[in-house]
Chain A
Amino acid sequence: MSWAFLRDLLSGVNKYSTGIGRIWVAVVFMFRLLVYVAAAENIWKHEHDEFECNIKQPGCENVCFDHFFPVSHIRLWALQLIMVSTPSLLVVFHVAYRENREKHHNQKLYKNPRKIDGGLLCTYLISLILKTGLEIAFLVLFYKLYNGFKIPRLVKCDIKPCPNTVDCYISKPTEKMIFLYFLVATSCLCIVLNLGELSYLIFKYSTKCYLKRHVKKQQ
C-alpha cells in the first residue's frame, strides 16, 4: 500500500469528472503528491534527530519536541492528501451502483450511467462540498496547531524535566517554511478549483432545468 494506490484511485475518478475536475486531479498529482513524495518527505525525515536543545538533561529534548510538534507537519500533509482525495470515491461508488442496477434488472435504466445528472449530480456536488470543507479544515488545523505558517529557528521550552527555560533549535526551518507555504498555496488553488466546479455545475443544471420548464410551459 503506497501512494500508487491513491494515484490509481484518482485516475479512476478522472473518468467521471468535468473539465475542471480533471484540472483538479492534475494539480493534486503534480503539485501535491509528487512534490510530497519527491521533495517534502525528505526534509522532515530526521526532524527528531536534528532537533537540538541547549541542555544535557536526559528527556528534555524528547519532551520539548513532543510539546512543539504534537503531530508533525509532514503527517498532517499526508492525512490532508488522503482525506481530500477520498470524497471522490462517493462518485465512483454511485456509478458502480448504477451499473450494477442496470445489470441486475437486465435493462437500460439510465440514458448514460456515467453522465452527471439526477442522483449522480447530487453525489458529485456533495463530494465537492466535502473536499472543500476538508481542505479548509486542514488549513485551519495547520494554522491553529502551529500558530500560523511560520517555523521559527529557536523555541524556548521549560517543561519538566528541563530544569529551566531551555533554547531548542529546529532543523531546516527555512526550507520547511517554504514547503509549508507551497502546501498552503496548492490547497488554496484546489479550493478555488472546487468552488469553481461547484458554481459551474449548479449554473449549468439550473439553466437546463429552467429551459426545460420554459419549453414545457410553451407547449
Chain B
Amino acid sequence: MDWGALHTILGGVNKHSTSIGKIWLTVLFIFRIMILVVAAEKVWGDEQDDFVCNTLQPGCRNVCYDHFFPISHIRLWALQLIFVSTPALLVAMHVAYRRHEKKRQFRKGDQKCEFKDMEEIRKQRFRIEGSLWWTYTSSIFFRLVFEAVFMYAFYFMYDGFRMPRLMKCSDWPCPNTVDCFVSRPTEKTVFTIFMIAVSSICILLNVAELCYLLTKFFLRRSKKAGNSKQQPNHENKEETKQNEMNELISDSCQNTVIGFSS
C-alpha cells in the first residue's frame, strides 16, 4: 500500500472529471506526491539525527527538537495530500452507485435501459449533471477547505515558511538557553516554498473548476427556463430526454481504464 495505490483509486475518478480536474490530478501526482517521495523525504530523512544542540546535557536535544517540530513538515504534507485526495472518493462512490443502479435495471430487463450489455455499463462515462454535479462540487469545496486549513496550519506552526539555521531553546532539562542548529535549513526552505507554491496552484485550479461548474449550472438553468417559456412542458421533457440519451450513447463509445469503483 503506497502512493501508487492512491493513483489507481484516483485514476478511476479521472474519467468522470472536467478538464481542469484532470490537470489538478496531474499536478497533484507529479509536482506534489512524486516530489515528496523522491526528494523531500530524503531532505528531511536525517532531521533529528542532524539536529545538534550546543550542550552535552542528555535529553536536551530531544526536548528542543520536540518543542520546535511538534509535527514534521514531511508528515504534514503526507497528511495534506491524503486529506486533499479523499473527497474524490465521494465522486467514485456516487459513480459506483449509479453504475450499480444501471446494472440492476439491465438485469431486470427494463425497457428504459439503453445499454446492450454489461460491458457498456462498466465503460460508461457519466456526465456531471444532477446529483453527481452536487457530489462533484462538494468534493471540490472540501478539497479547497482542506488545502486552506493545512496551509494555515503550516504557517501557524512554523511562524512562516522559512526554516531558520539557529533556534534558541531553554526547555528543561537544558541547563540554560542553548543554541540548536537545524540540518539543511536552506534546502528545507526551498522545498517548503515549492510545496506551498504548488498548493497555491492547486487551490487556484480548484477555484477555477468550481467557477466553471457554477457557470455551466446557471447557463443550463437559464437555457431550460428560456426553452420552457417558448414550448409546452411535456414536449420539452421528451426532447431533453432524447438529447440525454443521445449524449449517453455517444459517450459510451469512449474506452477508458476501470478504476477503484468497479
- Enumerate chain A interface residues (CB-CB to B < 8 A): 2-4, 6-7, 11, 19, 22-23, 26, 29-31, 33-35, 37-39, 42-43, 46, 50, 52-55, 153-154, 167-175, 178-179
> Which residue on chain B has the smallest CB distance to residue A28?
B1
Known: A54-B173, A172-B66, A175-B75. A46 touches B49 (CB 8 A): yes
Contacts of A19 in B (CB 8 A): 93, 97
Contact A172 B65 (CB under 8 A): yes
Q: B residues bordering A, Cβ < 8 Å?
A: 1-3, 5-6, 9, 41, 48-49, 57-59, 61-63, 65-66, 69-72, 74-75, 78-79, 82, 85-86, 89, 93, 96-97, 173, 260
Pair A38/B78 contact, Cβ less than 8 Å: yes
Q: Which residue on B lies nearest to A177, using beta carbons?
A: B70
Return chain B residues, CB-CB under 8 Å to A171.
48, 62, 65-66
**Are B1 and A34 in contact, CB atoms less than 8 angstroms apart?**
yes
- Specify which chain B residues have a CB less than 8 angstroms from the CB of A54 in the assembled complex: 57-59, 173
Q: Which residues of B contact A55 (CB under 8 A)?
A: 58
| Cβ contact within 8 Å between B48 and A22 | no
Complex-state Cα separation, A11 to B58, whole angstroms: 48
Alpha-carbon separation in the docked complex, A215 to B97 (Å): 31
Are A23 and B93 interface neighbours, CB within 8 A?
Answer: yes
Residues A38 and B59 in contact in the complex (CB < 8 Å), given A46-B48, A167-B173: no
A163 to chain B, nearest CB (A): 15
| Contacting residues, chain B, for A168 (C-beta < 8 A) | 59
Partner pick for A3 among B1, B82, B260, CB 8 A cutoff: B1
Instruction: Point out the residue from A6, A33, A172 that lies within 8 Å of B48, measured CB to CB.
Output: A172
Q: Which residue of A lies closest to B89 (CB)?
A: A26
Separation in Å of the B154 CB from the closest CB of chain A?
14
Among candidates A26, A38, A52, residue contacting B62 with C-beta atoms closer than 8 Å: A52
Q: Which residue of A lies closest to B70 (CB)?
A: A174
Chain A hits for B85, CB < 8 A:
30
The reply to whether B71 and A35 form a contact with Cβ atoms under 8 Å apart is no
Asked if A43 contacts B59 (CB within 8 A), the reply is: no
* Residue numbers in B under 8 Å from A11 (CB-CB): 260
Partner of B75, one of A3, A39, A50: A39
Contact B5–A34 (Cβ < 8 Å): yes
Distance (whole angstroms) from the CB of A60 to the closest CB of chain B:
11
Q: Using A34-B6, A35-B79 as known contacts, say yes or no to A154 and B59 having CB atoms under 8 A apart.
A: yes
A34 to B85, CA, bound (A): 12
Asked if A39 and B78 sit within 8 Å, CB to CB, the answer is yes
Task: Determine the residue in chain A with the shortest Cβ distance to B44.
Answer: A42
Give the distance in Å from the alpha carbon of A29 to the alpha carbon of B3 in the complex: 11
- A28 to nearest B CB, angstroms? 10
Complex Cα spacing A173 to B70, Å? 8
Complex: A33 Cα to B3 Cα, angstroms: 11
